[in-house]
Chain A
């Protein structure tokens, strides 16, 4: 007896934090309680990407796309959808019965997306190796072990044009080739899963939704370069991804897809997990290798590059999670096929974590060459709450802002560099007109200041100085000379820092200075924050014509700064006000203004 319905429940961290695990359990319990366990299979998958609408539950074969599902909805989903065959319209994304033959891909969020890296996320059960195998899993490994020579594999990677997705965009095949050619009897393969950009979660979701793709890719690389041991360096704050990796590794070992004599080919290969403590600098490859070895995570001068002297001084290939996830597709389908996607500069797709002030935040995978406008406005649905688009920060703390004028730039490695930002690992934070650009730069500098390892002084002292200057500007003490000093320090850091953390940390400052000089000027000359964000430069005031004296704000004010008689306009005592904004949120009459 086959199943009639399949219920796919999102098991990504985002949806799990909104109780998707409970939804999953309730669905199984309800199916049993209502006597239909034999008709419906409940499957927990990886991330569907549409995190804004989570938790997501998809029911097949109807392809019903249920959003913002709660654990208590399980009963109705079983009794209505599975038993009676009626869609629960109130939970559908469209809130209306689906038209015949309408597919989930027809939702605007999914149009323009191509899923290569995330091919299995939201499709398979990541904790079941059979699901992965069924979807052409380990086909690439078979090919690599039995049909291809080491050079064939590297050549296929070369044909694909794949560039490293960790940020720098170095051609992957070259890394592999250097390591293969390097002298040494022992070589290593490392997966960089130390995703640390604020707002980025592409790698976490890939590992949570499709861990086997990374294991398969690392094994293929092992064969190509002659390594027998791989390490996955992942931060301890990703417990679900670690758990799924451990399950996947155990299953792969049981099937003989990891370990001695893989599939009877005579090739031995195994992988170990190394947990990081969540230091941003450990995403830098030489610091990461130090950390695996048990030392403090501090970058080392390059050269020598890891390809010649890496882990324990042995030749090492180190690639990022997303890069690895592309490899099985390239080997299975051919590099030339993969190269059909994207631009001549950058082949394939890129996964972005679209967050911030956008309507549809989530995980999106688009072909390289897609414009930012398409991502923010078509896929992302534009700016939330009817506000105005201001900028997008790409590349996290190492990147820069992109403004309206550059929204139509096709996104690839070269394109983003030309407009003063960078690809980075794929964080994409959208800002609206209520975000103060100086404050944004300050936020990133506070981050890189805290995350600097302190080894080299341009980064250690420069980052702190930049932060202090920005802080000075946001509290209204900035001078014209400070702007020049910001630039001087920034250029010195770019030139003098040892690793990419220090070299790129000034990028948010330089790019905001380049695109929003008037906003810096307003803080310095007029002592005003145009976005109404910098507390020292703004005043909350009550408009006496609008205030009806309801006392709601004065009761909410945490410092008792608002006073007045009942039914008469109130006033704010400016010396006591801490500018928390609670009164403004409380007022039902829009009587409180900021200037």
Chain B
């Protein structure tokens, strides 16, 4: 590693603070939960999860927490993704593939619009 100039240090700090910000959970009010029970993983929840995380990163969203949960009982609808936002409350989506996952980030989280065609009820 070569010695830094002032500009290089500032650029490095900017880059690194973006990396470390992901660990900071303060002030995040949007919560995405991906069902990762055996059924969910079998149906491709891992691909879905990666797609969501990548899209959030690509769009530079800083107020979202993505976590995983076990099976929610809707095994036929897996992969299931649940999104909590302060405006829309909790909304669940079924059969979420990588493409739909991206759509959820762009339309539900960013634009604040529920994707009614894919919405499911989690009541069993």
Contact = CB atoms under 8 A, between A and B. Distances in A.
A and B, one complex? yes
Interface of A: 1-4, 6, 8, 60-63, 82-86, 100, 103, 123-124, 130-131, 133-139, 142, 146, 254-257, 259, 263-265
A337 B78 CA distance: 52
Contact of B50 (A1, A84, A86, A256): A1
B19 A134 contact: yes
A62 B22 contact: no
Contact of A130 (B5, B16, B70): B16
A135 B88 CA distance: 33
A3 B57 CA distance: 10
Given A1-B50, A61-B65, A84-B36, A6 B23 contact: yes
A133 B20 CA distance: 10
Contacts of B66: 4, 61
A135 B4 contact: no
A60 B20 CA distance: 12
B9 interface: yes
A277 B31 CA distance: 53
A66 B13 CA distance: 30
- The winner among B6, B23, B49 for most chain A CB atoms within 10 A is B23
B65 A1 contact: no
A263 B68 contact: no
A520 B111 CA distance: 75
A2 B3 contact: no
A130 B12 CA distance: 8
B12 A264 contact: no
B43 to A, nearest CB: 15
A399 to B, nearest CB: 37
B37 interface: yes
Interface string B20-39: 10110110100101101100
Nearest to A124: B20
A3 B22 contact: yes
Given A61-B66, A263-B4, A2 B12 contact: no
Main SS at interface, chain B: mixed
B70 A86 contact: yes
B5 A263 contact: yes
Contact of A84 (B1, B4, B12, B37): B37
Contacts of A8: 23
B53 interface: yes
A63 B2 CA distance: 37
A60 B23 contact: yes
Contact of B3 (A130, A135, A137, A255): A255
Instruction: Give chain B's interface residue range (CB within 8 Å of chain A).
Output: 35 or more
Given A256-B4, A263-B6, A83 B16 contact: no
A134 B17 contact: yes
A62 to B, nearest CB: 6
Contacts of A63: 25
Contacts of B49: 4
A573 B73 CA distance: 70
Contact of B22 (A2, A123, A257): A2
B75 to A, nearest CB: 15
B16 A61 contact: no
The 8 closest A-B pairs by CB, nearest first: A85-B68, A256-B3, A134-B16, A134-B20, A61-B65, A134-B17, A254-B1, A130-B16
A315 to B, nearest CB: 29
B69 interface: yes
Contacts of A61: 25, 28, 65-67
B76 interface: no
25 contacts: A3-B22, A4-B53, A4-B66, A6-B23, A60-B23, A61-B66, A61-B67, A82-B68, A84-B68, A84-B70, A103-B25, A123-B23, A130-B16, A130-B19, A131-B20, A133-B12, A133-B16, A134-B20, A136-B17, A138-B9, A255-B3, A255-B9, A256-B4, A257-B9, A265-B6
Nearest to B14: A134
Given A61-B28, A85-B36, A134-B13, A4 B68 contact: yes
Given A142-B9, A255-B1, A256-B3, A2 B20 contact: no
Contacts of A85: 33-34, 36, 67-70
Given A60-B23, A61-B28, A85-B68, A1 B53 contact: yes
A253 to B, nearest CB: 9
A90 to B, nearest CB: 16
B48 to A, nearest CB: 12
Nearest to B20: A134
B30 to A, nearest CB: 11
- The winner among A8, A100, A130, A265 for most chain B CB atoms within 10 A is A130
- The winner among A8, A124, A255 for most chain B CB atoms within 10 A is A255
B54 interface: yes
Contacts of A134: 13, 16-17, 19-20
Contacts of A6: 22-23
B4 A131 contact: no
A67 B4 CA distance: 40
Interface string B57-100: 10000000111111000000000000000000000000000000
A138 B66 CA distance: 31
Contacts of A138: 9, 13
Given A131-B20, A133-B9, A2 B57 contact: yes
Nearest to A83: B36
Contact of B9 (A2, A60, A83, A263): A263
Contacts of B56: 2
Contacts of A60: 23, 25
A143 to B, nearest CB: 11
Contacts of B3: 254-256, 259
Nearest to A125: B20
A169 to B, nearest CB: 33
A527 to B, nearest CB: 60
A142 B6 contact: yes
Given A84-B69, A254-B3, 13 more contacts: A1-B50, A1-B54, A2-B53, A62-B67, A82-B68, A85-B34, A103-B25, A103-B26, A124-B20, A133-B9, A135-B20, A136-B13, A256-B3
